[in-house]
Structure 1
Amino acid sequence: MNFRHFLTLLILPAIAGCAAGPGTRSAAASSTVTVGIAAINDFHGALEPPKTSVVVADGKGGVIQIPAGGSAYLASAVDSVRQKYLNHLTVAAGDLIGASQLSSSLFLDEPAIGVLNRIGLDFNAVGNHEFDRGRDELKRKASGGCAQYSALKPCRLEPFKGARFGYLAANSVEADGKTLFPATALRSFGSGKRRVTVGLIGLTLKETGDLSSREGLKGVHFTDEADTVNALVPGLKAKGAAAIVLLIHQGGYTKGDPDPSACPALTGGIRPILDRLDPRVDVVVSGHTHWSYVCDYGQYNPERPFLLTSAGVFGQLVTDIALDIDPAAKRVVAKRASNVIVQSEGYATRIGRIEPKDQFARFAPRADIAAYVARYVDASKAEIQRPVGKLAGEVKRPGGDSSWNGGTLGNLIADSQLAATRKAGAQIAFMNPFGIRAPHTLTPGADGTITFGQIYAVQPFTNGMVTMSLTGAELKAALEEGLDDTQPKQLLSASQGFAWTYDLTRPAGSRVMAMTLDGKAIDPAQTYRVTVNSFLANGGDSFATFARQRDAAISPLTDVEAMEAWLGGPALRAVPAEERASEAAK
């Protein structure tokens, strides 16, 4: 995907006329206390450099690609931000774990927590991927211990002591009405008359229940983001918070070429939240979309001049935020931010190497983090490199995380799940494109070999598979749910033999035009056996029809095991390149 990396410096005076002339410092400025904040989001257990780039404009109509990311480099970049400030915080806006690199995921993301502890994270807002392995496993991440809540065994390399940072979960509410983790936190700096307090609120997007396994949530529900924040702001102010920082796992997108000076055409789920937010919030650190930006939101809504930031994905950037606080008035008088590229080591691509660039800051990998990560990388190598089968060519989900189409990779996954569940009567299988993760591609070796590391990387959730009975009418309803106007659109990838057409110009609920199985039209009244992963079977991504699970049969295999079995035959597995979902002719 194309990440927007804005190396923007915003200075937002709170009151007109307070700026001093060049080379001078105003009385108001000299009386302020500055608090620096290093912010990240969507780390996704990226222990090693992810071999992806930050893209910035080169000023000549082109772009520059800067290799970035990797936890040892991220640690040094965070250190460089903190060293600028006497008073500082390190915060995150969720999805620090889940959909992780294999060297982290194979060990239940315990090493990702270990890295973040060593970096010195203070607070993290729970994101949807924090719930990937369920509520109880997330609680273990926070408190430590070796209790087993998933198929993988915990504490395989060392005892797990849990997070040394605080989780914030203001809108993650359990059945007894209490939040899963604290909703807010306060952190004070200085003393006497120059003592200032920063209040923090952390929360995830309200759709997290649709993005995570409902079985694993065990009664946790998610309240409206703006309503939740607005109810908490007065209490933080009453406790003396001079600045309020919101950490929210929801974000936006921008359009246009990478721009070092602005945040153009901001869209996405964050905007309607911000437009309802209490204007006493000073900074909004966002995430979820894997985009990066630094925005003066007052340009979009003058009544809400928030400083809005996001640091992309995989630790490729860290946001350097500074708040100048008047301790007497207990308010922020100026705020500014910039995204710092976590430039790391070069890497090879099919069109050449991407090398570090001297015009951008270089960071040495922090030795303690590098040594810690190396233990887990070494322990995972045998499993990562283990051959699982052969594939006749490359399959991929075109467009990456932002794509609503699973492509040939989605087809391959659906085919593998159909084959694995034939004994349960399966006739059709579907795969959701948003369940296909980076690198979104399976590229076989010269002899066609595919490794376990490759198939795990694109399906890191170890979902189960559920085969259920659906009528033809229910099949149509499920496909329509992927095309409605209440969520990002998704074309479900179908297994071989099933084809369907759609027309997005038609009203929601009537966009599926035709469906066939082995060339025969689907009968609305006939019952079919359909396989989906356990995430979809629990209503994930708002596919409520699958959650009915009528006559359900649960496979003993996981989705990754099904893929391994499908590729493990004696011959090359063909690339499923045919178009199974197509737009109706205009």
Structure 2
Amino acid sequence: MRKTPLLLLTVALGLSACTTPPSTLTPDPVNVTVLGLNDFHGNLEPTGFTPVGAEKPISAGGTEAIGAELAAARKANANTVFVGGGDLIGASPITSGLLRDEPAVYALNALGMSVSALGNHEFDQGLTELLRMQNGGCDSNDKAKACKFDPNYRGATFKWIGANVQYNASSGKTGSPFAPYVVQNVGGAKIAFVGAVTKTTPTIVSPDGVSMLTFTDEADAVNAVVPELKRQNVDAIIMLIHEGGEIVKTDANGKPINADVTYATVGCKVLKTDSPIYTIAKRVDPAVTAIISGHTHQGYNCLVPDPTGKDRIVIQGEQYGHLLQRLDLTVDKANHKVITVKAENLVVNYTEREKAGQLDFAQTQIVTTAKSKVAAISSVEIARLGSPQIQRGIANARNTESPLGDVIADALLEAGKDRGAVIGIMNPGGIRADLPDSTKIKANNAVNFGDVFAVNPFGNTTTILTLTGAQIDEMLEQQFSGGNAEAVKLLQVSEGFTYSYSQSAAAGSKIDIASIKLNGTAISPTGTYRIATNNFLAAGGDNFAAFKSATNVVQLPGVADTDVLSNYLKLKGPSLTNTVKGRIVVLP
């Protein structure tokens, strides 16, 4: 039995999805359930999640439990459709990631996913590889991983969609490699799902892999296809978008507010108004009934005014399958409109489903097969820590210094010392899991290679480069400005490197260069400093363009991020604890 309370948000709608005035036909209602999964990232197995009101994390997510939730929903309402909010693959744990995420695709196929928005991580390995993931085959850019789960990889049975993804002029092609929308017949109702991915995708994936594509404004692209959908007399339009926001948690002075607003809060109206999803939702055509979002790994069930000022549901289900977004619609097929829509975030409690004997057997087979194929590598013990776990931050926040961030920055520094590195720098978005996850903590504080892979799944390589003190200052300011202004990305820094920043200062002026010190001495604006980082940051990823001005850039051949962390854990493991070192000082 599911103990999580059913929390629903209901919005009455008088919007017709057709181009003609509302008819006077006798209503022909049908109840439709939409279950959405965002930011799954190939997490076939459950991971730790702390529900509202719980003191300790539970095991949540995992495709076996997701399958159980889908089965229950389909039993209650045969008119149930399963959709995605993007980032279904990429940055995945070893059970899927070491097999090129083919197990994740097969799992989603078996779960009956119908359609998903593209996410930025779908493009991690480039467009050509993404099209292989969609269509099948073994002609991969990583043949060591591809078709090792199934020697005849068949591709996804669901469709990735993106209305705002187009070929650019340099590609020599026109149109888009992806459909903008899919129309599903659900219980006789025509439900249109229109997709979009964050337009910032080229700045957060390897640019070479998407050089032939243009990512246009999300709202404009969706609005452009709405008239076409209206001409088809669809009965409802749901937007699937891989872009998100955050709930306002503090005021301008850092004072806590809205601390009680969570994924379970019904109808929240405290999404940050300058967040991408808020500004997009305010501009999307009113004919769109509800918006399933993703990207920011947040749980929220909120209302945002549409262009007419009417409230519209915007929902996101955190990450890794811990939550499913649920929409319950009453659709009038005769008059092509939605009468009501309800929303909730549903906790996927693996432990409860397992105890009740309800885990999805077909998923168990997929997970077991995938685990067996990587077991020899995944189970290798790397080190034993000085504490049971080293965490990547409270609620996986990317705007704070974290214990694990400190460790990884130190590991980068250690890896680059023989090339003259004096500073190690890590991007917080590259840290994907606690070490280890709460579901995998061992009595002897051991971590294995699978735990390390979950933390650093990208396969990034190590780069050593030189920046001046002034460029370092510029790089640190970019944590709060430009593409990072709406969602701060606080770089994690190594031992001996310290600085302070002001929360209230204007963007571009948050850091006094005099506060930036190396081993207690202020850096010189004209001095040069060797930095160890990953190739993603070195290329200016995550909007850190200052790295692109670096000189004397050296790639360490064959040194992947998992090697860097593994080697450091072997060297320092027993001395490493879940402690923030306080290298970054936050001022009012």
- Do they fold alike, i.e. is TM over 0.5? yes
Aligned: 1:344 with 2:350: yes
Aligned: 1:280 with 2:287: yes
Change (3 A) 1:220 1:426: farther
Aligned: 1:567 with 2:563: no
- Specify the alignment match of 2:499 in structure 1: 500
Q: Is the 2:392–2:433 Cα contact (8 Å) retained in structure 1?
A: no
Q: 1:311 aligns with which of 317, 320, 326?
A: 317
AA at the equivalent of 1:470: L
- Specify the alignment match of 1:350 in structure 2: none
More displaced 10-residue stretch of structure 1: 557-566 or 510-519: 510-519
AA at the equivalent of 1:77: E
Change (3 A) 1:320 1:414: closer
Aligned: 1:434 with 2:426: no
* TM-aligned CA deviation for residue 508 of structure 1: 1.7
1:343-399 deviation line (CA, Å, top 9, x unaligned): 2216xxxxxxxx999xxxx67011111112111112222322212234444533221
| Matched ranges for 1:53-72 at <5 A | 53=50, 55-57=51-53, 67-72=59-64
Question: Aligned partners of 2:232, 2:573: CA distance in 1, in Å?
Answer: 68
- Specify the alignment match of 2:88 in structure 1: 96
| Matched ranges for 1:457-468 at <5 A | 457-468=454-465
Change (3 A) 1:52 1:517: same
Q: Is the 2:466–2:531 Cα contact (8 Å) retained in structure 1?
A: yes
Q: TM-score, normalised by structure 1?
A: 0.85
Q: Is the 2:25–2:334 Cα contact (8 Å) retained in structure 1?
A: no
Question: Aligned partners of 1:264, 1:7: CA distance in 2, in Å?
Answer: 20
- Specify the alignment match of 2:371 in structure 1: 377
| Matched ranges for 1:102-141 at <5 A | 102-141=94-133
| Matched ranges for 1:380-419 at <5 A | 380-393=374-387, 394-419=389-414
More displaced 10-residue stretch of structure 1: 447-456 or 195-204: 447-456
Change (3 A) 1:519 1:101: same
AA at the equivalent of 2:209: G
Structure 2 SS opposite 1:335: strand
Q: 1:324 aligns with which of 327, 330, 336?
A: 330
Question: Aligned partners of 2:109, 2:40: CA distance in 1, in Å?
Answer: 13
AA at the equivalent of 1:247: L
| Matched ranges for 1:208-357 at <5 A | 208-254=201-247, 255=258, 256-258=260-262, 259=264, 261-267=266-272, 268-297=275-304, 303-345=309-351
* TM-aligned CA deviation for residue 420 of structure 1: 1.9
Question: Aligned partners of 1:264, 1:281: CA distance in 2, in Å?
Answer: 19
* TM-aligned CA deviation for residue 136 of structure 1: 2.4
Q: Is the 1:400–1:440 Cα contact (8 Å) retained in structure 2?
A: no
Change (3 A) 1:574 1:344: closer
* TM-aligned CA deviation for residue 459 of structure 1: 1.1
* TM-aligned CA deviation for residue 42 of structure 1: 1.7
Q: Is the 2:237–2:287 Cα contact (8 Å) retained in structure 1?
A: yes
Change (3 A) 1:363 1:210: farther
Q: Is the 1:431–1:532 Cα contact (8 Å) retained in structure 2?
A: yes
Question: Aligned partners of 2:227, 2:392: CA distance in 1, in Å?
Answer: 46
Q: TM-score, normalised by structure 2?
A: 0.85
Q: Is the 2:286–2:307 Cα contact (8 Å) retained in structure 1?
A: no
Question: Aligned partners of 1:395, 1:274: CA distance in 2, in Å?
Answer: 37
* TM-aligned CA deviation for residue 290 of structure 1: 2.5
- Specify the alignment match of 2:584 in structure 1: 581
Question: Aligned partners of 2:442, 2:474: CA distance in 1, in Å?
Answer: 40
- Specify the alignment match of 2:198 in structure 1: 205
Unmatched runs of 5 consecutive residues or more in structure 1: 17-26, 347-354
More displaced 10-residue stretch of structure 1: 564-573 or 454-463: 564-573
AA at the equivalent of 2:464: T
* TM-aligned CA deviation for residue 427 of structure 1: 2.6
Give me the CA root mean square deviation.
3.0
Aligned: 1:452 with 2:459: no
Q: Is the 1:400–1:438 Cα contact (8 Å) retained in structure 2?
A: no
Question: Aligned partners of 2:470, 2:385: CA distance in 1, in Å?
Answer: 35
Percent identity among equivalent residues?
32
- Specify the alignment match of 1:24 in structure 2: none
Change (3 A) 1:502 1:263: closer
Q: Is the 1:108–1:152 Cα contact (8 Å) retained in structure 2?
A: no
Structure 2 SS opposite 1:236: helix
Structure 1 SS opposite 2:495: coil
Q: Is the 1:395–1:442 Cα contact (8 Å) retained in structure 2?
A: no
1:442-479 deviation line (CA, Å, top 9, x unaligned): 89866664321222121111111222221111111001
Q: Is the 1:206–1:225 Cα contact (8 Å) retained in structure 2?
A: yes
Change (3 A) 1:573 1:148: farther
Question: Aligned partners of 1:309, 1:240: CA distance in 2, in Å?
Answer: 25
Change (3 A) 1:497 1:339: closer
AA at the equivalent of 1:554: Q
Q: Is the 1:388–1:564 Cα contact (8 Å) retained in structure 2?
A: yes
- Specify the alignment match of 1:351 in structure 2: none
Q: Is the 1:56–1:64 Cα contact (8 Å) retained in structure 2?
A: no
- Specify the alignment match of 2:489 in structure 1: 490
Q: 1:425 aligns with which of 383, 405, 420?
A: 420
Question: Aligned partners of 1:99, 1:372: CA distance in 2, in Å?
Answer: 19
AA at the equivalent of 2:371: V
Question: Aligned partners of 1:71, 1:269: CA distance in 2, in Å?
Answer: 29
AA at the equivalent of 2:216: T
- Specify the alignment match of 1:511 in structure 2: 510
How many correspondences in the alignment? 549
- Specify the alignment match of 1:537 in structure 2: 538
* TM-aligned CA deviation for residue 288 of structure 1: 1.9
Question: Aligned partners of 2:77, 2:26: CA distance in 1, in Å?
Answer: 15
Question: Aligned partners of 1:272, 1:365: CA distance in 2, in Å?
Answer: 39
AA at the equivalent of 1:373: V
